[in-house]
Amino acid sequence: MKKIIIASAIAGIFAGQAAYAADAAPASDHAVSFNVGVTNDYRFRGISQTRMKPAISAGADYTNNPTGLYVGTWASNVEWIKDSGGDATVELDLYGGKRGEINGVSYDVGLIRYYYPSNAYPGSSANTTEAYGQVGYGPVYVKYSQSLTNFIGWGNGTDGSNYIDVGANQEIKDGYILNLHYGKQVVKNLSAADYSDWKVGVTKDFGLAVVAVSVVGTDADKTTYDFGGRGYLGGTAGVVTVTKTF
């Protein structure tokens, strides 16, 4: 889940780096990168996946620059399935798609699979496949995601659940990127699980690592998003994430 969030949060920084690299040297046709990260609270669409505890993540990406085709993977520890009585403690994301630009409008379309090894989630599989499409102009973007399977453990009939993400990543001064986001999650046939989320943050590439500091929150139902009676997972909180890409 988190990989897509990271990509949108620091898109402005990477766009600037790509423009500089293009001036400095021709880009390779085949680009491979790796990333590692740490955060005090892994949030996916505003909901804590680690019960407000730290998370460590790692991922890898391949991009074919001439075509814009890409594939990648990303993994993190999670807690919410254990809270619900299951066994899975790791989330593994597998994704692929195509990105590019037409007349100044960027686009990104693809598929992502959220996979939870062992997946012992009571009553329903947590594994989920989503299709997504994003368009952007300058610092502003709109993204739409729709599940092709039952949605992240909510049970039968939730395929077709969707999420709309609207945001902007605008440089404000000396490489500091202002991150603004609003999202709306709709879980098909389960209105109690619908909610909105938001984020206001700042991201900065310090060379050694990218640091993102934000405040996130939701209006998610406090009973629905209290898995296993362990505490509400959608409350407003500060999130600090440090990511290194190499």
Domain ranges of the chain: 2-245
Mean pLDDT across the chain:
89
Instruction: For residue 29, count CB atoms less than 10 angstroms from its CB and return exposed for 0-12, middle for 13-18, buried for 19 or more.
Output: exposed
Nearest Cα residue to 99 out of 147, 66, 148: 66
> CB 165: neighbour CB atoms within 10 A?
21
How far is 126 from 1, CA to CA, in rounded Å?
Answer: 12
Residue 166 pLDDT more than 60? yes
The whole-number pLDDT of residue 29 equals 94
Retrieve residue 184's tokens.
Answer: 């709306």
pLDDT digits (tens, 9 = 90+) for 106-163: 999 999 999 998 765 666 788 999 999 999 999 999 999 999 999 998 989 999 999 9
Each residue's pLDDT tens digit, 19-34: 333 344 566 899 999 9
In tens, the pLDDT along 173-215 reads 999 999 999 999 999 999 999 999 999 999 999 999 999 999 9
Q: Under CATH, what is the fold of the domain 2-245?
A: Porin (2.40.160)
